Structure 1
Amino acid sequence: MGCFLILTFVLPFMLLAQKHIPFNTYEQPIPGSSLHFKMMPIAAGSFTMGSSSSEKNRNTDEGPQKKINISAFWMGAYEVTRDEFDVFYNDQNVSQNSNADAVTRPSPQYVDLTLGMGKEGGFPVNSMSQMAALMYCRWLYTKTGIFYRLPTEAEWEYACRAGTTTRWSFGGDANKLKDHAWYKPNAAKKTHPVKAKRPNPWGLYDMHG
């Protein structure tokens, strides 16, 4: 399959801690809709980022390994869905003046950005630039008063590994990958609804694909 930028939220622990909100799992409603998304608490810790030079099929950009310290944060339990993103895209409060561009608001979709892979029903939003993802996070802040952002590479890998040191969060058996991820052999060249596979030990879905 081709590559897709899948948007996952991160919420720094210190922001909600200042509001005396417990460091627990919570559901965030999306104003103006019946939708909501789930945020998982990721405890502070340290891990070895990257993969061992002896790991099979390792890419050269996965090293050298280094120990990284991570502060506590919340992370979305699964990818942002097309249903959720469309609330932002269709928000009537977003300026519609003809001089707006893709930086200040979503530009018109000249083609089907889902590539025919699914819209309603919990499919992950795809074909998104980093700027569009950042604008979505900014929009969420204006709607909820809570600051959301994209995870750093280190935060994402820390959450993906979920305290494990094996090749995948479920171990090193490639035969089990199909139970945890959509990838070339089982995806049939299309995306699939989020949360269809098993989560990692920290309750995060689709981290391996």
Structure 2
Amino acid sequence: MAIGRRPVTKGLGLENTSVKFSEKGFVQVNSQLLTDDSNIYAIGDIVGNPMLAHKASAEGKIAVEAIAGHKVAFEPAAIPSVVYTDPEVAWAGVTENEALKKGLNVEIHKFPWAAIGRAVTMDRTDGMTKLIVEKDTERIIGVAMVGQGAGELIAEGTLAVEMAATAKDMALTIHAHPTISETMMETAEMVWGLSTSIYRPKK
């Protein structure tokens, strides 16, 4: 049973510094990972969600550059998350539930891996790729997928969100065939009902 995690900040002597904490006990930092104490930077799980190693690593690089005097900030548009089950689950950016709760004007497009030749040859058709796309701009603001190797594939989705790529950008990017990565292109093509592997006319 998993019941969550919480930061462990006791015993570090932080009560003798100017470091401040949130209501849940996380160390408060600015975009350069600097705490309220000008001599202390903090990164990783102790500064808040998402509690992921790759997020902490990225924060560490920013903190070091800030200490070196560079003008940097930790302001990612997307941080990928992966659940290492079988099949894997991965997502980055705004999720479908978040988009609906915030009342964002979006389109949700889902592409079944069963329509991709590579998934068929691997006998792993139990996958799906989903794009959350802004209706007005056609910008990709979220990507999610489930399937074998989803944790590897989410990198392209993370880049798309980070670079503010549009569905057209993704659709026009030639993907190798046959590969599971084609599902990203095919899902983007669904925005206009142009996917060649599945019949989903534009509404």
**TM-score bracket for this pair, using the shorter chain length:** under 0.3
Q: Which has the higher contact order (CA 8 A, sep 6+)?
A: 1
Q: Which has the larger radius of gyration?
A: 2
Please report the TM-score for the alignment, with normalisation by the length of structure 1.
Answer: 0.21
* More helix per residue: 2
